[in-house]
A and B are shown apart, each in its own frame.
Chain A
Amino acid sequence: MSARFPVITGQGVIAAPGTNVAEVWRAVADGTCGLKPLSLFTSPRYGQIPVGEITFDPHELGAPLRGSRSDKLAWLAVRDAMRAAELDVTKCGERTGVVLGCSVGGSYDSEQFLVTLLKKNRMRPCATRFHECSAPVDLIANSFGCYGPSFAISTACSSGGLAIATAADLIQSGAADVIITGGTDSLSRTTWAGFHSLLLVDATGCRPFDVDRGGMSFGEGAAALVLESEEHALRRGAKILARLTGWGASCDAYHATAPHPDGQGAIAAMQAALRRANLHPGDIHYINAHGTGTRDNDLTEARAMRKVFGANVPPFSSTKRIFGHALAASGALEAIVCIEALRRQQLPGNPGFRQIDSAIGLSPVAKTQAGHLRHVMSNSFGFGGNNAVVIFSHADVMPQTRATPVKPASVISLGAILPDQVVERSTQWPLPMVTVTAHACSPFSDLNTLSSIQRRRLNRLSQMAVLAARRAGRPEPTQRVAITLGTGFGSLDEGAIFLENLIAKDEAEPMPTRFPGSVHNAPAGQVAIDLAAHGLNSAPTADEISFESALWQALNQLACGEADEVFAGAQDELNKYPLYLGKRWGVWDAVNQPGESAMFARLTPTAAAPLARVNALRLGRFRQPFDPVAEAQWIANAIDLTTVPLIITGAQGWRKFDSRYLEVVAELNRHRSQKLEHQTYKQDCGEFPAASGVGFIRAVTAARERGCRVLLYTLAWRGGKAICLVEP
């Protein structure tokens, strides 16, 4: 196998300072502050505080009419990146995937559903259609004909960096030749008021690393990179803009919002990226810091840089005052700053910095200036102590990374909270009352094993995650442990309570505890604290294949040697909004009933007596119209089915998919004398995006009890698909 070096062949961007790479670079070169007063929505309490808002209409630039604001921003950035890379969309196919960071998702649009309901007493359910953080990935994959592995990474402010790192993993593992990657997040009332409630916003605009810094500034935007293997780029004659040579991730496992005071997680992520790139600290010529401008971030990040680079911290700067902090887009916007810095041999400046802070003891590059750059590092840190670091290198550099195909792994234990009762669940204020039959989890029998702060502070979804992980058992303290926890919807309860309160009270009494609990990676971050797990901490989201996306990241971490053990899981909770909207749209019926669960599988590369082995995992997307013959062929090409007697699918849920599953199974059986036995699990756990985690438990149990190989096959409603082979 060739080395499969990841290279960047195209970039696209839309953010406060501009709608293309040249405009954005001009703002970086001039040190322009991109912040101005908020106009996207009214904010009675914080309206005058400057923000990095995109003030032109995305539709005028050609964005599609359907989709959330985040979706449209992402679409524009991806279109421009693909044009720049001269990537022929008709040839993308199965070897091209999409991995974007997204943490706000469609919140800005779905908030309007609640605003009109609470303020005007009118119902506009369509506003919620693109709420999920995975929606931009699906929109892009479907519009640009990408049928390869696709999912979103939703780890708050580190999402963009982690998405780019994951894209590099997909390329180097051989799972895809091209990944459209980057990040997108629009402004939203939730994040806007949420960060204000945490007293983290500087009313005069952020001043990263300055002695008088008083917090962050908000922003929005999207940035996209076309990342591909060097072989693929050379084969199609593409121009290589820069290389992605190092990437690393870690978790502080310390606190929901505050960074570790010594920057331990940041240090580990920077070192992991250097290790992956096979570079020494002295090889790095510039660092684009996370540099939000909060007292804590800038201080701990500087401490971490000192620890990694010693007395020779390379020139560094934060470009947050140019863009505002665009959350999940931030790491992607800064990737573009880094790539342009390499191409132009310029050190980007740090607008907002005036005077050195003696506690920090380091000054950033104040103004953009000429430099000599071969390798540059970009830091992204987020809630949940989540850290992602990437290293970009000049196109002429000879990289040192190695291809690392994903290998089989052992399942050593399972832990889960499964729905054990069928209940009539009624929706409440502010929604009209409807009653829906649902599969629900009983109160947790082991709730009292949680500490008093875990019982008091953690929302139900985070408690479910922590308890499911504990039920899987504790790792040995010497093990390096990573966590990948997929979710379709994240903490809907927490997000809804925060937003209902915000709108009903006109921002008067925000809920600072609930905001950090509402991000998708909050439960995974709490599991990390509970287990002292300092490795990768990822929250992938991809509708019905959220679990399989988490499983892919887990297998990859083990194959790369970045973790000794991974807790791979998936979870979703029952919430009144999907209950109500599903009822209104006629989704729920006698067969298809909503459900919930949380589960983890503990995975190691090998084990003496594993429960089962995960032997193959493939992610992809199906074409429209759905073709069962092509789907059966896709499965047969990946897995030798002659010795597989059992297939477990996501049928018995959403009825539109029942016929698709049945047609594919029939097609697989057409040439077999011994027919595949077809089992389903949604009749027991209900329908929810993370349900295939329950299917995985079923597959492991069947493989163990019957001593046979089991195929788990999952389709997602916006186009994703996954197969996983579990064997004794």
Chain B
Amino acid sequence: MAIATTELKQRIIEALNLQDITPEQIDDEAPLFGTGLGLDSIDALELVVMLEKHYGIVIKDIEEGRPAFRSVRTLADFIEARRPAV
């Protein structure tokens, strides 16, 4: 089952302390870094912690996560592919 992007957005908001933003304001396809939400390298590290905490995915090299952090959509696909079997 594909993971719900609304839930993922909520977890991104919590992990990154994006106080002024609601899940509806984040476009599935919009870039998370640079433009878009304007996140930076330290936010990427918070996402690494979030992925391990909520989805059991361990990332040891930030380069490994970089393609996944392009947008909410790519992140959801990455989680889907990497999530340990339950």
In Å, the complex CA distance between A453 and B43 comes to 11
Q: Whole-angstrom distance between the alpha carbons of A20 and B2 in the complex?
A: 60
- Tell me if A283 is interfacial: C-beta within 8 Å of chain B: no
Q: What is the chain A residue whose CB lies nearest that of B19?
A: A456
User: Chain A contacts of B45 at CB under 8 A?
Assistant: 197-199, 512-513
Whether A257 pairs with B53 at a CB distance below 8 angstroms is: no
Which of B17, B20, B38, B42 is A256 in contact with, Cβ under 8 Å? B42
Find chain A residues with CB under 8 A from B52 CB: 509
For B59, what are the chain A residues with a Cβ–Cβ distance below 8 Å? 199
Contact: A510 with B49, CB < 8 Å?
A: yes
- B-side contacts of A516, CB under 8 Å: 42
**B38 in contact with A258 (CB, 8 Å):** no
Answer yes or no: A365 CB below 8 A from chain B CBs.
Answer: no
Shortest beta-carbon distance, B65 to chain A, in Å?
Answer: 9
CB-CB under 8 A for A199 and B48, given A214-B61, A452-B20, A453-B38 = yes
Most buried by A among B41, B52, B59: B41
Q: Which of B16, B48, B49, B60 is the one whose CB lies under 8 Å from A456?
A: B16
Interface string of B35-69 (1 = CB under 8 A from A): 00010111101101100110000011110000000
A508 to B42, CA, bound (A): 18
* Contact of B41 (CB < 8 Å), options: A197, A258, A452: A258
| Count of A-B contacts judged by CB separation below 8 Å | 46
Whether, in the assembled complex, A255 has its beta carbon less than 8 Å from a beta carbon of chain B, the answer is yes
Complex formed: what's the CA distance from A456 to B19 in Å?
A: 7
A474 within 8 A of B: no
A457: interface (CB < 8 Å): yes
Query: Is B42's CB under 8 angstroms from A199's CB?
Result: no
Which residues 6-45 of B sit at the A interface, judged by CB distance below 8 A? 16-20, 38, 40-43, 45
Nearest chain B CB to A357 CB, angstrom units: 15
Q: Is A641 an interface residue (CB 8 A)?
A: no
Q: Given the complex, which residues of A lie within 8 Å of B38, measured CB to CB?
A: 452-453
Q: CB of A511 within 8 A of chain B? A: yes
Bitwise, A452-468 to B at CB < 8 A (1) or not (0) is 11011100000000000
What A residues does B60 contact at CB under 8 A? 199, 203
Separation in Å of the B28 CB from the closest CB of chain A? 22
- Which residue in chain B gives the minimum CB-CB distance to A258? B41
Q: Which A residue's beta carbon lies closest to that of B50?
A: A509
Taking a contact as CB atoms closer than 8 A, the residue among A257, A258, A453, A512 that contacts B46 in the complex is A512
A457/B42 in contact, CB under 8 A = yes
Complex CA distance for A642 and B6, rounded to whole angstroms: 73
* Shortest distance from the beta carbon of A199 to any chain B beta carbon, whole Å: 5
B12 to nearest A CB, angstroms? 13
Task: Spell out B's residues near A (CB within 8 Å).
Answer: 16-20, 38, 40-43, 45-46, 48-49, 52-53, 59-62
Q: Which 3 A-B pairs have the closest CB atoms?
A: A512-B45, A199-B62, A456-B17
